[in-house]
Structure 1
Amino acid sequence: MYKKEKAEILKGNIKYLIKSRGETQLSVCNASGLTRTTIYNILEGRVVNVQQSTVRKISDFFGVSYKELESVDFEEKELIESSISLLGNMNPAAVPIIKESLLVQNLEKRIGELSTIFPLTYYFGTACNLVGVLLENEIAGAYESGDLLIVRKGLSNIGREKLIYDKKTKRLFVADEEYSHPDLIFVVGEVIEERFNG
């Protein structure tokens, strides 16, 4: 690509990113450590060969690839991406459905193996390491027998509702606080979707 063409793409991208991200030339300068003259000269097309260190500082500030900053039209790219429904074009995740009574003895198995043993449901969204837990007992104040919980296995975000197995009562319960009693409880994972029976 010719230097002049690169400089034009760079100039257009910086103008677009400043405008679309709610920034100003001054905020870019202050945060990236560049002088106002440098930014001004690029935006006015006075520089044909912009130093790589300058391009990197600008790309780091906006969180984009420095190579793309000189070669891809960001306005066009984001316009195309915004017109594509990400959820509409995703493949759903296959989620094995495990009955509550079979949950504990099967939790150490990998999702791929569980998917070959148990019936499947599908989760539409970005996720991995999911299991469906089919409740056979009521969880007081929350769920009834027959409800299905889609759970991301393992430890999860603080403050998110977790499905927890009580080793003493051999029953499941939900809580959003942190528990650290591995001898008494076992955290199944984070509840990311609820499907109520009927």
Structure 2
Amino acid sequence: MHRREKNEHLKSNIRYLIKSRGETQLSLCNASGLTRTTIYNILEGRVTNVQHSTVRKISDFFGVSYKEIEQVDFEEKEAVDQSISFAGNMNPAAVPIVPEDQLINCLGKTVGELVTLYPLTYYFGRGHNVLAVLLKHALVDINEPGDMLIVHKGVFEKGGDNLAYDSQTLKLCVLRELGEGESGRCLVGRIIEERFNDL
């Protein structure tokens, strides 16, 4: 496949994945470490040869393969996949299981890197930028040590259950509003599933 075709696939896939996954250019930049100028230049076709490392950061963010993002039309592929069966024909996403006491040191790493460092579980749903947190302490009188929280990393949902790390207490907490409570809280992401230790 020619470089021009790869660039066109990359551009259209970034646009589609941002829209279909409920992301923004800003959330992509924040989580991947790329600048807004880099993303803008790719989307406007101002870059003729996108660096391998840049494509890798974008594909890691969306949880897709490096080759696919340059060679496959995701909008067309997902439309076909969803027409094959009622629930779509989706494979489960492999998700790294990060112990609570190691989580704060992992927030700067991509999920693509974390899957090589930690054991995996599976998440059945639209999985991109997802990790699992294995609790070592009780959380909000509901979750106990050994429970696992599946988290959409870096995403905040107003009014929803969002996992954060409190740097003052050195413990995890749940936020429902941004700015809730004291400062010094670092967002982990939106809790999308809970798995209880006794189940």
Aligned residues of 2:147 and 2:197 also touching (Cα < 8 A): yes
Distance 1:169 1:151 in 2: 21
Distance 1:120 1:83, change over 3 A: closer
Distance 1:182 1:113 in 2: 31
Distance 1:157 1:191 in 2: 9
- What 5-or-longer segments of structure 1 have no aligned partner? 1-77
Query: Which residue in 2 is equivalent to 1:86?
Result: 87
- Aligned residue-pair number: 119
Aligned residues of 2:133 and 2:148 also touching (Cα < 8 A): yes
Query: Which residue in 2 is equivalent to 1:139?
Result: 139
Report Cα offsets for 1:62-99 as digits up to 9, x if no partner: xxxxxxxxxxxxxxxx9x96671334x20111100000
Distance 2:187 2:133 in 1: 13
- What 5-or-longer segments of structure 2 have no aligned partner? 1-78
Query: Which residue in 1 is equivalent to 2:113?
Result: 113
Instruction: Kindly state the Cα deviation for residue 182 of structure 1 after the two structures are TM-superposed.
Output: 9.0
* Paired residue secondary structure (1:160): coil
Distance 1:81 1:153, change over 3 A: closer
Query: Which residue in 1 is equivalent to 2:192?
Result: 192
Name the larger-Rg structure: 1
TM-align CA RMSD: 2.3
Q: Counterpart amino acid of 1:177? A: E
- Identity, in percent, stands at 45
Aligned residues of 2:96 and 2:131 also touching (Cα < 8 A): yes
Q: Counterpart amino acid of 1:169? A: T
Distance 1:81 1:102, change over 3 A: closer
* Paired residue secondary structure (2:116): helix
* Paired residue secondary structure (1:188): strand
- TM-score scaled by structure 2? 0.55
Aligned residues of 2:157 and 2:176 also touching (Cα < 8 A): no
- TM-score scaled by structure 1? 0.55
Query: Which residue in 1 is equivalent to 2:97?
Result: 97
